[in-house]
Structure 1
């Protein structure tokens, strides 16, 4: 039974030694940094030696167990135990970069532990820190240092996105959705200062904070709702409701009156119109400064509009618009005015040289006064009253088509050219009279 007692002594010595080592680790005094051998380590050495001497097989079992246990680092920050990370160079180098960038002091102690596969050592490697999260509908948008900082961020974002509405008598603004702040513990890389957090919420793409482009804070953008994936849009929406007074022009109406004294198609303004105006109180709903809804809630007329009165011609027998040339020929054989031949007699129209049988057309709308033979030297002629004191005469025709009393339209066939009456050869005599006096017909062609 002596070997059992010896074994119990070994186990007790080992347990005591482990407890003392663990206490040193918690106090940030790693045992491997101690220069002298403490009594506990001496006892551990003696007990271990005794165990090997007494039970060599037991020592082999302990060595095998250590060989199959992973190597980890206990991490301390400001003397406080943080957690475990794998004892790997890439992990420690990454932690050192974070520590340098954020001014963090940390220490580690090597241990051999069996850690469950579900243990999340990444939280330890990112130095978990107390912070405040700004959330939209319970989804995190950005982390900042404190609740006052978070409130400053939200106030600055609201001020930036709420519009300055010109002429508004009352404006209220609020965030769209359920915006909250809450205390959390996150890796220090996630935490932004208030100004940086504001820029991230307002300008998701352009807010590339120096040294943090690959940090979890930047990765927040990738986990936003699909409806917020437009990189040009802020991550928060501010809805504003403003009551605005606007002066609105009220258009006048046009009243048309038929007038048989005017040619069909002509219009004449007899009373000019002008717009009125009114003042409207308008409730506008805006999102991030853009109007999405407008509603008139009251209206006050300042000046009534004055309607315009326009006479619209209905007389198809009255000249209107441009005049047309009376035939297809364009050669003037005798112009309007005094003739050099025949004793300088006055020629009241123009003679257009065309062969007998060339079509002759009305040069404008009008009513036929006379059609047929004229004994005054015009031969077969057509005389048309074009309205406004203007009459047109077509003489020396071979045949007349129009009839007295007929209403003719501009360009309508009225007969054919010839050499009847006092004519020296085939031509069309075209004449224009204003109030019975012949005038130069060229402006009426």
Structure 2
């Protein structure tokens, strides 16, 4: 059967007319570049998508029939051969419904042969079909079967890229750029199923062995300074999340100078405690990765407690604490004016101990005199403890250190006795501040 001139004109008009475009849904933020995401047209894909020529959404993918059937149909229009399709009920029914929808006729002839590898399937790929295109900044990214399918694809892509922010009290997501769905008419070879469209938008560089699709032209989106292996989606999703956080408020440390402590020594008087604060924070994510945040409100729950620390300033005291010079604490004569012997001033304390009792340095320092003292102290040791403080140990039976020796607190410096002007065995212990004798009790 030959086609009439009128039908030929209809077909020519369908083949040459530009697709009609109608905008539907739209999302807007900021712009970016776009590249059409489409399948290349290897044999198996074109044969399979030929069966999707349906006015509506009842398409069934039957690419497997190409491999399973040895029988094919040669399609003619007005006596002119235009293409080859698989000879099976689904394909024939689809071809008939397409022809009826466009008011044209075609004729077919069955042939029993295997389709050769280089068969030009592109002859039948240009049949126009109702579809929907997903656009970014007015540039097409991918074609799919309907506007409903395209919107579902965008919802799937948005959910995949936005991620799950569990702690947020309020979350809004939007595409970056002007993303919209447009109803259109396009050749069947450019249309992909919604699941394929989702994969193309999420993984533009991937290869789908099921369809024989090679790397998409959308891989150009990843060119430039990025490595070829970088996987960037064709669309980007920005997420704004409002979260409430409890943060710790640090405490301050206050130092109080103490001349009784060695220089540099510290003693905590009051422990510090951190406070707490609730913050409302706006977080911004791009494709699930946080890119920025800023604090909206702050509410102090508990105030921090300052830590108070004593800071030693006495350069001659290593540890800051003083010790008793002997094991015995028996004081036989205190510091100050005596009530006997004419009321003489006693510049130290006398500690009653047997001869040979070990005597210890009451703090760190340097020995400035060790040996016999002709002023009545007998065998003595004088130690410079720094910051104008010196300690004196008199009436020893013998000394165990020498001039210039550095001694540590608790170190044995000699042994008690009754040398010099002493009426019995004891230790005479003095503390001098800048050369003046002071009560040694605070330094024991």
Q: Normalization by structure 1: what TM-score?
A: 0.53
Which whole-Å deviations, capped at 9, do the CAs of 1:42-94 have from their partners, x for residues lacking one?
Answer: xxxxxxxxxxxxxxxxxxxxxxxxxxxxxxxxxx9xxx9859xxxxxxxxx97
2:175 alignment partner in structure 1: 175
The reply to whether residue 210 of structure 1 matches residue 178 of structure 2 is no
Structure holding more helix per residue: 1
**Cα drift, residue 185 of structure 1:** 3.9
1:439 alignment partner in structure 2: none
**Cα drift, residue 251 of structure 1:** 0.4
**Cα drift, residue 156 of structure 1:** 1.3
- Structure-2 change in CA distance of 1:139 and 1:366 (3 Å): same
- For residues 154 and 260 of structure 1, what CA distance do their matches in structure 2 show? 74
Which whole-Å deviations, capped at 9, do the CAs of 1:264-318 have from their partners, x for residues lacking one?
Answer: 1110000000100111111111111222121111111100000101111000121
- For residues 306 and 94 of structure 1, what CA distance do their matches in structure 2 show? 74
**Cα drift, residue 168 of structure 1:** 2.1
Query: Of 214, 217, 222, which residue of structure 2 is paired with 1:220?
Result: 217
- Structure-2 change in CA distance of 1:97 and 1:208 (3 Å): closer
- Structure-2 change in CA distance of 1:292 and 1:184 (3 Å): same
CA contact (8 A) 1:374 1:380 kept: yes
- Structure-2 change in CA distance of 1:383 and 1:219 (3 Å): closer
2:76 alignment partner in structure 1: 108
1:284 alignment partner in structure 2: 283
**Cα drift, residue 392 of structure 1:** 9.2
- For residues 47 and 6 of structure 2, what CA distance do their matches in structure 1 show? 21
1:353 alignment partner in structure 2: none
2:414 alignment partner in structure 1: none
- Structure-2 change in CA distance of 1:179 and 1:366 (3 Å): same
Alignment of 1:256-335 (within 5 A): 256-320=255-319
CA contact (8 A) 1:316 1:409 kept: no
Alignment of 1:77-226 (within 5 A): 98-99=46-47, 102-103=50-51, 107-108=75-76, 124-130=123-129, 131-206=131-206, 208=208, 210-214=210-214, 218-224=215-221, 226=223
CA contact (8 A) 1:316 1:366 kept: no
Q: Which runs of 5+ in 1 are unaligned?
A: 1-19, 28-75, 84-92, 113-120, 322-335, 337-343, 351-361, 403-407, 412-421, 423-430, 436-445
Q: Normalization by structure 2: what TM-score?
A: 0.53
RMSD: 5.0
CA contact (8 A) 2:366 2:385 kept: yes
SS at 1:171 equivalent: strand
CA contact (8 A) 2:251 2:304 kept: yes
Q: Which runs of 5+ in 2 are unaligned?
A: 17-40, 53-72, 82-119, 321-326, 328-353, 410-418, 420-426, 432-444
**Cα drift, residue 189 of structure 1:** 3.5
Which whole-Å deviations, capped at 9, do the CAs of 1:21-57 have from their partners, x for residues lacking one?
Answer: 6639958xxxxxxxxxxxxxxxxxxxxxxxxxxxxxx
CA contact (8 A) 1:258 1:311 kept: yes
